[in-house]
Structure 1
Amino acid sequence: MNRPSSPRELDSLRAALEQREVAARAEVDKATERLEGVQKHVMLQANEAKEAQRRAEAALTKVQQRNEQLVGQVQQLSAEAASQQRLAERMQQQFASATDEARELRKERDALAQQLALLQGRMEAQAHPVVPQSRSKRAR
């Protein structure tokens, strides 16, 4: 490289160097501004993501609690349904037994009614014996 020989050349080179330095600083400042903007945007997105995650976790907790409640209710209802089923089966058995017993009692009643009618008929016959009428009375 050639060295500047005069102070004028030196001043000119210094001025050119200063202009380049000012331009470089301006570019660095612009790049820094853009970087800060991007960083701010990234921070906002990160905060939004954290908030969304917090809301999702809170919603998940609520859903899990509700699920636990529903599971408990289902278990309780299942136990109640099983109990009601057993009760219904017992009632059906009792009904069948009562129906059979009622059928037997009706048979007994009918048999006793027949015996009573027979006995009443016999008593009636003994109390009022039938006397045969003679043929001569009919002829008159």
Structure 2
Amino acid sequence: MKVPARQALQMYCAHLREQAAGRASNGELDLVNERAGLAKAQRERIEMQNAVTRGELAPVTLIEEVLSKAGGKIAGILEGIPGAVKRRVPALSGDEIKNIGAEIARVRNIVASMSLADLRDSGAESDEDRGAGSDEVIDA
């Protein structure tokens, strides 16, 4: 099919204008999508900077450090419970105090093995987390 030279020149110029405007895809590079992606990344970066400035975000390493220190303090408090119970209720036997210590250790191990996924799925509490299988009695 032959196209008159004038029409071919007009089609070629229109094609060049589309490419220059970024509306036409040139092989693997789609300028429209690239510009949109860049604008999105810039917007997300600015939103993150604003959140840091407002104190809504903190570095992961800082959060890990705080949680580690808090966990250490909590573990120390939990470890002292059996001795405190024995002092307050001297009538308890050694086996009962040992059972209290075992329950505290069980809970401490559950918390120590938690992950971010567990926190996201906190609505689905397992039998172990609720204490199923223990001798606990709950009055309704």
TM-score by length of 1: 0.37
- Which structure has more helix as a fraction of its residues? 1
